[in-house]
Amino acid sequence: MPDRHIQILSDVVANQIAAGEVVDRPASVLKELMENAIDAGAARIDVDIQAGGIKRIAVSDDGSGMDRDDALLSVERHATSKIRDAEDIARLDTLGFRGEALAAIASVSRFRLITRLFGALSGTELTITGGRLGDVREAGGPQGTTVEVRDLFFNTPARRKFLRAPETESGHLRLAFLTQALGHPAVGMTLQADGRPIYALAGDATVADRIRDLFGLEYLARLRPVSYEHGSVRVSGFAGVPAAARLDRGEQYVFINRRPASAPTLARAVREGYHTLLASDRHPVVFLFLEIPPDRVDVNVHPAKREVRFRDHDEVRDAVIGALRRSLASDGAAVLAAGSGPSAPPAAFGAESAPASFPITDLPPVRAFRYPRLPLGPVSERPLPPDLPGGEPAAPTAAAPSDGKSPWDWCRVLGQAGSLYVVLETAEGLVLLDPHAAHERVLFERFMKAVAAGRVESQSLLVPETITLTPATVQPCRRHLELLRAMGFGISEFGGDTMVVDALPALFGGASAARLLPDLVSELESTGPRADRSRWSEEGIAQAACKSAIKQRDRLTLAEIEKLVLDLASADMPYTCPHGRPTMVWLSFSELHRRFGRT
């Protein structure tokens, strides 16, 4: 049996354990070194990596630098200039604070540090191999600090074998660099990999400048600015249009007081901010910067400081949701679905200079044109519905009021294709409209406005429904009884886990209370009872809109198509249904000319 008596670990072993928490791959080293440089007030940071950082990582900055004594202390565990006592952790304004990073990195690498204090005639160079201090000597060099890390995990082969190929580790290093570059656009940064320049970013930049330099001008054009305050939380940055959404969360960058961080509350808030604009399998692109008083956020949760904890989760969540909704609602053109048109829609799509009307003029009858069929096989000819007009064009309709967010200046209904899709002509091209998705959007916004105005109508049930809820659902239901009644539900407790429902909101039509109530309660519990009741259970309203909307089998008269087009043009977000599907596909005349060889 080995000796089981309690022993104090040596500094070398303790440092290597700490390294396991702080340093798990080269990208972790780069993150810690860049954060130290930023905390030192650097205006420029240069990064040089070799073999995916496994062979070498060097970070140079022009920050304040250190004298000999501070340089020696900086590689000791729990030695830091950023806090003095436990109370300082509650008011941090720096990225680092624990004083573990350099000691942890030096314990699993061949480590060299060269630093010169501002105004000093010479600097200090020290080397550490596997946690053991080597040479300490006077050295020349520019003001600031250079840290070089070679042969990472050379003395811990069990850890080294878990590293991936250099190409994979290089990808993680680039992501770590990019994240720090986004969080601190005022700092000039360069990245060189294996002697090849990757990034050269100018200092004194804005967030927009940094996004443009990292991702390109076209990428920036698909983002909308964010600026919002709620309570003690301020949210700024950029939100991607739904058309730019991805299949993963790889392009969601969230910073808390300029610190890249994550929290379950933030992920849920971002998702809800796009709740009725994206399909469930798509994830938005966001660059969000949250400014929160330091005493209201705890960054000392995760060893690598990857997660944070908030004192008031509801305030942060509502701030993020409100910021995203305001940003996306400010420009209706932003939500054109992918593939529905060019990357930059014409100015008429959502332009502020749009005229105060969008008339539907020169309306020919639906499916009135009988073109001869080509001999491509048997095709059944669909007869015209009896309620449609004959062959003469209908008279122009009166202009409808507009708030300047209409998708078009004017349009003309050309007909229906496949007994389903409505074909429109606009000043810029052709639009194919899905009546079901369009009607969903119109009903959804109408229902939401009724809720916001407190004018929800209730519909009494002929036979009250008795609903037995699960233990996980009944308590939230009791907590939200008053809110449910304000929404138009006639609901009361029957005893135990049973509720009696004798009325439903009229907008839900013939929905089953037994199927509707549990989902609605779960939605309320996840989103929180915010003061703004216009956002309650959007998913429930979206489902109700879907059930009430036009179906493919429904035949539409010309008057019905005309009213649907006018209602959709007046919607706040006319380009997608509440579930994120496009309501329209746009084809410009310039694209048609190109395809027909007219350009």
| Rounded average pLDDT over 42-65 | 96
CA distance 495 to 434: 47
pLDDT in tens, 102-153: 988 999 999 999 999 988 999 999 999 998 999 999 998 899 999 999 999 9
Q: What is the mean pLDDT of residues 436-442?
A: 86
| Between 4 and 287, residue with greater pLDDT | 287
Tokens at residue 416, please? Answer: 């229906």
- Put simply, whether the predicted model's pTM sits higher than 0.75 gets the answer no
Q: Please state, as a whole number, how many other Cβ atoms lie within 10 Å of the Cβ of residue 441.
A: 27
Q: What is the pLDDT of residue 376?
A: 34
Cβ atoms within 10 Å, residue 360: 23
User: Of 580 and 341, which is predicted with more confidence?
Assistant: 580
Q: Buried b vs exposed e over 9-36: b needs ≥16 C-beta within 10 Å?
A: eeeeebbbebbeebbbbbbbbbbbbbbb
Q: What residues contact residue 360 under an 8 Å CB cut-off, 6+ apart?
A: 396, 397, 410, 411, 412, 413, 562, 565, 566
Q: Which residue, chain included where needed, has tokens 């746009």? A: 586
Confidence grade of residue 66 (pLDDT, cut at 50, 70, 90): very high
Highest mean pLDDT: which range of 304-318, 386-400, 420-434, 468-482: 420-434
Mean pLDDT of 348-365: 42
Q: Give DSSP secondary structure letters for 72-131.
A: HHHTSTT--SS-SSGGGGGG--SS--SS-HHHHHHTTSEEEEEEE-TT-SSEEEEEEETT
Between residues 540 and 556, which one has the greater pLDDT? 556
Instruction: Label residue 469 by pLDDT band (50, 70, 90).
Output: confident
Residue 364 above 50 pLDDT? Answer: no
Between the alpha carbon of residue 42 and those of residues 58, 187, 435, 538, the distances in Å are: 15, 7, 57, 46
Q: In the chain, what percentage of residues exceed pLDDT 70?
A: 72
- Tell me the domains of the chain and their CATH numbers: 11-205 (3.30.565.10), 216-330 (3.30.230.10), 442-548 (3.30.1370.100)
Q: What is the pLDDT of residues 186-244, one digit of tens each?
A: 999 999 999 999 999 999 999 999 999 998 888 898 899 999 999 999 999 999 988 78
Q: Give pLDDT, residue 229.
A: 95
Q: Is 53 left (phi over 0), alpha (psi -120 to 50) or beta?
A: left
- Pair 520, 472: CB distance under 8 Å: no
Q: Residue 410: which of 431, 427, 386 has the closest Cα?
A: 427
**Separation CA 105–CA 352 (nearest Å):** 55
DSSP 246: B
Both tokens assigned to 301: 């949760």
Q: What is the pLDDT of residue 338?
A: 35
Q: By three-state DSSP, how is residue 164 classified?
A: coil
State the pLDDT at residue 510: 61
The pLDDT score that the predictor gives to residue 343 is: 33
Question: What is the pLDDT, as a whole number, of residue 479?
Answer: 82
